[in-house]
Amino acid sequence: MIDFAVFSITIIAVWSVLAISLHLQFGLTGLVNFGQVLPFAVGAYGTAFAAAHGLPAWAGAGIGVTLAPLLGLLVILPASRLAQDYWALVTLGAGEIFRLTMLNVPVIAGGDEGTSVYRFQNADLAMVLALTLLLVTLLFARRVGASPLGRMLRVLREDEVLAATLGRNPFRLQRMVTAASWVMAAAAGVLYAHVTGYISPSSFTVLETFVIWTAVVLGGPSTITGVLLGTVIVQLTSVSTRFVAQWSGLPSDLVANLRLGAYGLVLILVFLYRPQGLIPERKLRYDADRL
């Protein structure tokens, strides 16, 4: 039971980092990244590449965390100066292309069969590392969100032209947000690889992107507490799938499908009945009368 709790906390922490990364991109800046799984996969595959080629684990982590923001800047290049429809399409396509590359080029990290990587033998250590990473990202995101930078990112979310006429370069800010949040997601990917000990393309489909989106939309994309709450809810249903299947006697395949269906339903219902999510953005009040 304790083992399960430790594992669950580790997994929730990893996915919380992904959710905070999406919070920075979508919740604050309004960037519709439908390829959020890409930086996560890049982190994981950096690790897998190192393992498959006999490089040390730190080198794999380094590759993943450096490559992700560079790739991010490359991916958003065609989408900058275009509407968010195109942004969504480009990021979605990039995520799928990365997965297909890993699937079809076995030299990188085993292709369809995947690669085994070093797995943390000590589950507690894994949990502590995951929580540390979560804490760092959380503090970073909080600092950004509550700063003048966060304010300008929100302006970008509302109206890019306004930001530009006020003398800001929207694309510089978008690049900055993308680089920073993709580093986070890649770090989460590195950790995820070492927690599960095995990496294959099927863990990084576009559906994973929407598991992150469900958590973020459900909790409230514009607040950190919101995305954390959403992730806890979504990931608890995810890690408990096995138990639900055992307990109900239904095939686990069916339970997994029902879970995915429930995520879809959540996305729909939240937008219909509570578009700001469970925890809406709080109003920042200032004393205007002070002299």
Partner 1 sequence: MLTVCDLSVSYGRFQALRSVSLQAAPGSILGLIGPNGSGKSTFLNVIAGVQAVASGEVRLDGTLVPLGLPERVAAHGIGRSFQTPRLAHRLTVFQNIMIGARPQAGERLRSLFLQPATVRRREADIQDEARSVLRRLDLSHKANDYAGMLSGGQQKLLSLGMLLMGHPRVLLLDEPAAGVNPVLIERQINLLKELRAEGRIILLVEHNMEMVCGVCDRVVVLDSGAVIAEGDPDAIRRDERVMRSYLGEPA
Partner 2 sequence: MLQILINTLIYSGEIGIIAVGVALSYSVLRFANFAHIQFAVVGAYLAFTLNQFLHCPLVLAVILAAVLTGGIAVTVDALVFSRLRDVTPEGKMIVSWGVALLLRSTMGAIFGSSSRVFGLEPASLQIGDAFFTSLDVVVVVVAILAMILLHFLLYSTRLGTALRALASNADLAATRGIPARRMVSLMWFICGAYAAIGGSLFALESQLAPNMDLIILLPVFASVTLGGLSNVFGAALGALGLSLAQNLLIGVDFGSWFSANSWSVPTQFRDFIAVGAMVIILLLRPYLARRRRAV
Structure tokens at 107: 């030299």
Q: Residue 291 interacts with partner 1 (CB under 8 A)?
A: yes
Cα separation of 170 and 184, whole Å?
A: 21
Positions in 60-89 near partner 2 (CB under 8 A) = 77-79, 81-86, 88-89
In the three-class reduction of DSSP (H, G, I as helix; E, B as strand; rest coil), residue 199 is classed as strand
Question: Shortest approach of partner 2 to residue 94 CB, angstroms?
Answer: 7
282 DSSP 8-state letter: P
Question: Shortest approach of partner 1 to residue 253 CB, angstroms?
Answer: 42
Sequence-distant (6+) residues with CB within 8 A of 181 are 20, 21, 22, 24, 25, 39
Candidate segments 128-136, 142-150, 228-236, 255-263, binder of partner 2 by CB under 8 A = 255-263
Q: Residue 72 interacts with partner 1 (CB under 8 A)?
A: no
Give the per-residue contact string, 13-42, with partner 2 (x = CB under 8 A; - = no): -----------------x-x-x--------
Candidate segments 34-42, 153-161, 206-214, 259-267, binder of partner 1 by CB under 8 A = 153-161
Give the per-residue contact string, 155-194, with partner 1 (x = CB under 8 A; - = no): x--xx-xx-xxxxxxx--x--x---x--------------
Closest to partner 2 by CB, 56 vs 261, is 261
Instruction: Count Cβ neighbours within 10 Å for each residue of 265-282 and write b for 16 or more, e otherwise.
Output: ebeeebeeeeeebbbebe
Say how many residues touch partner 1, by CB under 8 A.
Answer: 32
Cα separation of 51 and 199, whole Å?
A: 10
Q: Residue 272 interacts with partner 1 (CB under 8 A)?
A: no
Structure tokens at 127: 């949990």
Structure tokens at 172: 């510089």
Cα separation of 254 and 248, whole Å?
A: 11
In the three-class reduction of DSSP (H, G, I as helix; E, B as strand; rest coil), residue 198 is classed as strand
> Where along the sequence are the contacts to partner 2 (CB under 8 A)?
30, 32, 34, 77-79, 81-86, 88-90, 92-94, 96-97, 100-101, 103-104, 205-207, 210, 213-214, 217, 253-254, 257-261, 263-268, 271-272, 275
